[in-house]
Amino acid sequence: MSPPMLRRLPPLVLSLLACLVQPAHAQLASPGLDSQQCQLVKQHVLQPGAPVDCAQLQVVRFAYVDFDKVRHEDGEIMVMAAVAPQVKAVFDELLKRGFPLAQARLMEHYQGNDDASMADNNTSAFNDRPITGGKAISLHAYGLAIDINPLQNPYVRRDAQGRQIFSPPAGQGFGQRVASRAGSSEQVVELFAQHGFLIWGGDWKKPIDYQHFQVSRGMAERLAKLPLPQARQLFESSAVAYRACRSGHGNKPSDRKTCAAAAG
């Protein structure tokens, strides 16, 4: 749904949804990475020719509970600054719900090695790399894809013989999906979508990426080209459009995938 179409929605709907978007802004640090953080990222994660630079990235810090229900105050995830308020809102809600995360460390701790991060069951976002098993640039390279609890929510592909291959390998134990199991991504698909991450890798046929949430590639390319205020407005309008679609008309909620396609 485009911004002009949003203006056709009832003012009360827009105002209520906008209220849900705004509070996270005040809780965030300034956008952009400081010189020390930028240098670290360039050493380990950010390559020349990346679709975003240090000025477009932001570290979102948050508290979370682990699988033993112990609270941690050191959660960190790096994303495009345009989406930082929505990401903060997502992780604050995960804490409120008691949804467990094993840990959340920046990819520089793993020198940008996605396999190492997954093996450590690390929740992460920005990583300047191609898509797994391909050459196209990943949405992680924009800071517009988030992976949560890779062990409980593995990446699954089939080899030439049709056998399932799990990443991380220990994720095979979670190949049979149980939505009610602690840390399962099925529980938070709607939450991520409500905050603009409209695409879930668990909906894909091959490969299947249960840990993965992202925006559309078209949205990523548009956000990367815009100044921060306009990029943030565009992303938030997408989230508002999705919420409005899901609320339905005449109290008949629309399908999640239909609304994601319309809003993204």
pLDDT in tens, 211-243: 999 999 999 999 999 999 999 999 999 999 999
CA distance linking residue 211 with residue 10, whole number of Å:
35
Q: 103 or 131: whose pLDDT is higher? A: 103
Count CB neighbours of 238 within 10 A. Answer: 29
What value does the mean pLDDT of the chain take? 89
Tokens 């080899």 correspond to what residue? 159
Dihedrals phi, psi of 50, to nearest 5 degrees: -65, 155
With contact defined as beta carbons under 8 Å apart, do 102 and 149 qualify?
yes
Task: Give the pLDDT score at 3.
Answer: 46
Model confidence, pTM? 0.87
pLDDT in tens, 92-106: 999 999 999 999 999
CA distance linking residue 242 with residue 257, whole number of Å:
10
Task: Give the pLDDT score at 239.
Answer: 96
Q: 85 or 255: whose pLDDT is higher? A: 85
CA distance linking residue 32 with residue 2, whole number of Å:
27
pLDDT in tens, 145-179: 999 999 999 999 999 888 999 999 999 999 999 99
Tell me the pLDDT band of 130, cut-offs 50, 70 and 90: low
Count CB neighbours of 222 within 10 A. Answer: 17
